[in-house]
Structure 1
Amino acid sequence: MDLTQIKNPSFVKNLDKDQLTELAASIRKFLIENLSVTGGHIGPNLGVVELTIALHKMFDSPEDKIIWDVGHQAYVHKILTGRAGDFNTLRQFKGLSGFPKMLESEHDVWETGHSSTSLSAAMGMAAARDIQKGKNYVIPIIGDGALTGGMALEALNHIGHTQTNMTVILNDNEMSIAPNVGALHAVLGKLRTAGKYNSVKDELEYILKKIPAVGGKVASAAERVKDSLKYLLVSGVFFEELGFTYLGPVDGHDFNDLERNLQYAKKMEGPVLLHIITKKGKGYRPAEDDKIGTWHGTGPYKIETGDFVKSVSAGPAWSSLVSETVRKIARKDERVVAITPAMPVGSKLEGFAAEFPDRFFDVGIAEQHAATMAAGLATQGMKPFLAIYSTFLQRAYDQMLHDITRQNLNVFIGIDRAGLVGADGETHQGVFDIAFLRHMPNLVLMMPKDENEGQHMVKTALEYDQGPIAMRYPRGNGIGIQMDEELKTIPIGTWEVLRVGTDGTILTFGTTIPMALDAAEQLAAKGINVQVVNARFIKPLDTAMLDYLFAAGKPIITLEEAVLAGGFGSAVIEYAHDTLKGPTPIRRMGIPDQFIEHGNVDKLLEEIGMTSENLARMMEDFILEQKTEREIV
């Protein structure tokens, strides 16, 4: 079957079971072949092939609202809605997004990238439908991992209370990105093995209806028997007690089972939770056998062997460098503990977890809980390391402010994937953390220039006892620099000069240091000598160095791979405004006031004008303007 010829999903309504099975096989083959070249979220998508086909067969998208939680399992949906021909551009610059995107298709009714949002969005859409007297269906699809997120539980509570019509699909593959944790995971495990409660319940209701009406007491007793059956067959009856009709578990790879239960759900009044059991990675053995989340999202791979095609990197992965340095220090300091919100593999904490199982906590998709738990640990003299992606730290803003920084607790926050991350796009770009953290009192915020400075910053953070301290580090690998054998602390709030110059200064840190040094080289070729400073502490600023630079009166450009609004450059300008009487020769380069889409990081930087050539041109023009102004005066 040529999937590129699909224009809309209506064709699946006329397919019989054999044709549906053939379509599913074609889609799996297509995904395995295409993602071996582009990379992407292969495991989640292989697991929902039959489910996605069944949804489009039983419902009428886009009038019926199919809402994908997280969105990393929406590739099959994209194929069925006419986008197979664009899969060679998946997650590439100006290409097909790896997540649902409204601009791509009318069938993408909700954009996402973070977990646990689908049920709240569905409640909003259902409420709008009810107000407008509509009749369409609302179908959120949420994974068992995303269901553990607090926001999802809040929405379940509200949906059950309102009793609005909605079919919630629980896609249960026993994993999120990594194996799931928590009590709710155990509840689902019991449901998987409890058998089909609904078929037995129906049989009992049929029997009860045959009993002659002999008075209220008998009828009441019969109802109690029926209700007791829930507790006998389905331990906890978690969803029914929340106000949902529970259907399942259903084999997510059996079209007959799927269609029968979807049809049943469509006829019911009120909210229904359809519990679908799927196998992540189904149809491709390496992905099926994955037990730790390696095949959740990958780069290119060899189809025959499942071996990943890895680029040659000079230095260690940043996540590994940080977590292994924490682990090294933990061997000598029993107060050190590590916390992750469902990202033990991404944050490279497997080694720490294996060596210190009692001091490692994977709390599931619960960033808010992770942050406040870290605060609680700190109150008892522990030294918690909270490993969290920049994009996910956004979800714990209040906990950072209210619980960690306000109480001035000794928590070390490792802000992974800081800066542009590339292929995952705007929902994952780690460019906002400086702006939303910088204004928090008591917090120290830093970013190393290379992996050697990075390991010293980890030591600095874990030895710091004056309050919370956070270190940003990028996605990918270090540059391969010589590593010191002995760890040392770095004085808080100190910068370092990387290149001496008298005509102007570039203040920058982390991933943009090479850009600044390259721009300085370009200027040197024109006889312009520019100083480059590693402004490794974003907060507090090195005010002694700033005072010196301001006194010199030469042009200063701040450079950051983060949003300009409220960023590092803003901090420098604020300090200048508060300490200087006259005009301040400062300009900024960074991420403009817009969301940055997916693509190769270098291409993204070029798209927004963040290049060494533009930086050199900006400094040259700045110096010339200042010189002209002095001559006029």
Structure 2
Amino acid sequence: MFNQFEKPNTLRELKVPEISKLSDQIAEYLTADTRFDVETIIKNINVLETTLALHYVFDLRTDRVIFDGGSQVMVHKILTGRADELSLRTNIPLTLDTSNLYDAYQGGDIGEGLGVALAYALESNERVIIMLDDHALNYGVTYESLVQISKNKPNLTIIMIDEQQSLLRHYTSIDSLVKSVRISKTYVGLKKDMKSVLDSNPISRPIFNTLVKMRDALKETVLEPTIFTQFGIDYHGPIDGQNLPDLIKVLTLAKNFKGPNLIHVQTRLRKNARRKLEFPAFKTDTTLPDNFKTHHEMFDQVLVGKRNPKMMLLVDALNFGDYFREFEEAYPNNYKVTTGSTESLITMAAGYARMGFHVVLALASTRIIDATSQLRHQFVIPKLPLTILVRKTGLSSSGNAYEQGIYDIAPLSSMANVFMASDINESYALLDTIIESPGINVLRYQNTPEAYEFSSPNVSLAWSVVKPIREETNGVVLTFGSAVNQFAKRIESNALNISLVNCRHINAIDTELLVTLNELKLPVLIYNIESDSNELYANAQRACYELNLKDLQLIRCDLEGIDLNLPTKELKRVHHIHIDDALNLLLER
């Protein structure tokens, strides 16, 4: 499907009504025939017309178009002959490929693309356009780039995608009228003519200056958010993100823009009455058994059950599923939420901790690296207590290396006790315990629904033996997280004579256990696909050296040296790190 786009610039040969019809076909294809979840598809349909207009107006072989974050690129892939990469039966990651002529930027964390676009704009003669979700305005890196833009005044066009759920929602009913005037050739030409005539001699220059002040006042109070004008960025919009003719018109004008310009595009899927989209049932059916809960629902019970009016919960919530609803309802003044402002959240947390509050901080795994320095400055050095809940951990099904939740354990291990439970019931018990423990304690989890027993099992923070260790055992597996139960099921179903240890305290070592294993001269497999650097293996190896355990055979199965731009199942298959591969590796010894 869409094979016509294997030829460069095919879209530019079509007429606008034909492109409008094509947009409906693309939306239907994304909805029914791609492998991605509903949320990801909707985010891409929200930029459908904008991406079509970009490809219609600009030549992406010579103009640099950057898609910040790298997640809203489905339509771009279709229009560059790669629709098959999105289909249900493929595992090719959504990530762009900079070796491809049409891909100027592979992707990164949200907001980071703006700095890349700035560099391109300053050092090349090409047109540079960046499509940026307004959610990026929650991130400090965006403002740092805006400061540099205000200093350097590059020829850069920023397309700000506004789903009308955040900072850009304060427009009046005259917007549509003013917008149609502001993006017209007459208006743009009139601005140039007025400047050339009135600013050309001493007599008329005061008139021009007065008009400029009136224009600026009008723009700041009615038309343009001060946030952009303060950075010296010329604002255009708002533009209806589903009005293809308007988008084409303003992007055509953008070819002649000088200096930094921002085009504000408002989009919301449900506004398009013409397009009726139906997702397959397997993507929308979220019915769960009554005994299934998410970790957030379970954590809510633990936190509310503490009945502590001095407990403060601070959450970096990127979507509705990240919220802790019961705690918010019970303690509305003790619940603070941001959407991306991790750094400010940590400094707030430190302030509350210094005032004697019991602080719980909830962050996504992908935000930990950026937060490490502040955590060290605000909590480690002054020795303040803190409980951190780290969500979206482990390998990502998206196959995007930037979205893998595996970069948090290494930085956290140097400053905190890091735990990960084998299931939701153990997570309940761990949180119930560590929240009362001194120091900095971290609990990692995936927020997927699991069967919940509605009771808190007794659990030790130390390692525990799941399958008993005997002299005649063929080997021992050390692991943590969901892998514990996966190994247990494989060992039981295949009647394997293998022992299993739950290393729930990831960055601690049970030296007594290692001494026992050394005396029995058993091969030990350390399985860790939760981290890009196998801290569990490194700590065990260090302990063996310090304790002179010469007879302990350590075998590793982890992510070291692996290409992470693959979906989880494909990554395990290609690199032989599935549970079965790990067991075979142990049995071969």
Under a length normalisation based on structure 2, what TM-score does the superposition of the two structures give?
0.87
Are 2:441 and 1:469 aligned? Answer: yes
Equivalent residue, structure 2, for 1:614: 581
Equivalent residue, structure 1, for 2:77: 78
Residue 215 of structure 1 deviates from its aligned partner by 6.7
Alignment of 1:29-428 (within 5 A): 29-35=28-34, 41-89=40-88, 92-93=90-91, 95=92, 97-102=93-98, 105-112=100-107, 114-129=109-124, 134=125, 136-175=126-165, 180=166, 185=167, 188-190=168-170, 195=175, 196=178, 199=181, 209=197, 214=203, 220-234=209-223, 237-280=226-269, 283=272, 301-302=280-281, 308-310=284-286, 316-329=292-305, 332-428=307-403
Number of residue-to-residue matches in the alignment: 577
Residues 281 and 35 of structure 1: CA distance in aligned 2, closer, same or farther (over 3 Å): farther
Identity fraction in percent? 23
Equivalent residue, structure 2, for 1:27: 26
Equivalent pair of 2:537/2:556 in contact (CA under 8 Å): yes
Matched residue type, 2:123: A
Structure 1 range deviating more: 264-273 or 575-584: 575-584
Residues 545 and 322 of structure 1: CA distance in aligned 2, closer, same or farther (over 3 Å): farther
Residue 417 of structure 1 deviates from its aligned partner by 2.1
Residue 577 of structure 1 deviates from its aligned partner by 1.6
SS in 1 for 2:580: helix
Equivalent residue, structure 1, for 2:417: 444
Rounded Cα–Cα distance in structure 2 between residues aligned with 1:456 and 1:286: 48
Equivalent pair of 1:560/1:568 in contact (CA under 8 Å): yes
Residue 455 of structure 1 deviates from its aligned partner by 0.2
Matched residue type, 1:460: T
Residue 389 of structure 1 deviates from its aligned partner by 2.3
Are 2:588 and 1:598 aligned? Answer: no
Q: Deviations over 1:6-62 (max 9, x none)?
A: 224612223333222222222222222224887561221222221111111111103
Residues 491 and 270 of structure 1: CA distance in aligned 2, closer, same or farther (over 3 Å): same
Equivalent residue, structure 2, for 1:540: 508
Equivalent residue, structure 2, for 1:530: 498
Matched residue type, 1:121: V
Rounded Cα–Cα distance in structure 2 between residues aligned with 1:286 and 1:415: 38
SS in 1 for 2:389: strand
Rounded Cα–Cα distance in structure 1 between residues aligned with 2:135 and 2:296: 24
Rounded Cα–Cα distance in structure 1 between residues aligned with 2:367 and 2:535: 18
SS in 2 for 1:190: coil
SS in 1 for 2:81: helix
Residues 287 and 428 of structure 1: CA distance in aligned 2, closer, same or farther (over 3 Å): farther
Equivalent residue, structure 2, for 1:631: none
Name structure 2 gaps, 5 residues minimum: none
Rounded Cα–Cα distance in structure 2 between residues aligned with 1:559 and 1:224: 66
Residues 373 and 544 of structure 1: CA distance in aligned 2, closer, same or farther (over 3 Å): farther
SS in 2 for 1:377: helix
Equivalent residue, structure 1, for 2:553: 585
Q: Deviations over 1:307-341 (max 9, x none)?
A: 813486796354334432344335x1122232222
Rounded Cα–Cα distance in structure 2 between residues aligned with 1:37 and 1:5: 23
Matched residue type, 1:241: Q
Matched residue type, 1:41: T
SS in 2 for 1:469: strand
Rounded Cα–Cα distance in structure 1 between residues aligned with 2:321 and 2:402: 17
Residues 424 and 158 of structure 1: CA distance in aligned 2, closer, same or farther (over 3 Å): same
Equivalent pair of 2:393/2:445 in contact (CA under 8 Å): yes
SS in 1 for 2:255: helix
Rounded Cα–Cα distance in structure 2 between residues aligned with 1:450 and 1:382: 29
Q: Deviations over 1:565-615 (max 9, x none)?
A: 35211111112222326464222222222232333x444323322234333
Rounded Cα–Cα distance in structure 2 between residues aligned with 1:233 and 1:45: 30
What is the RMSD computed on CA atoms of the aligned residues?
A: 3.3
Matched residue type, 1:139: I
Please, which of 519, 522, 533 is the counterpart of residue 565 of structure 1? 533
Residues 216 and 21 of structure 1: CA distance in aligned 2, closer, same or farther (over 3 Å): closer
Rounded Cα–Cα distance in structure 2 between residues aligned with 1:372 and 1:461: 22
Equivalent pair of 1:99/1:113 in contact (CA under 8 Å): no
Rounded Cα–Cα distance in structure 2 between residues aligned with 1:30 and 1:621: 47
Under a length normalisation based on structure 1, what TM-score does the superposition of the two structures give?
0.82
Matched residue type, 2:429: H
Q: Deviations over 1:473-532 (max 9, x none)?
A: 135333x36342x576x554x11111112234321111111343356458855xxx4321
Name structure 1 gaps, 5 residues minimum: 289-294, 623-633
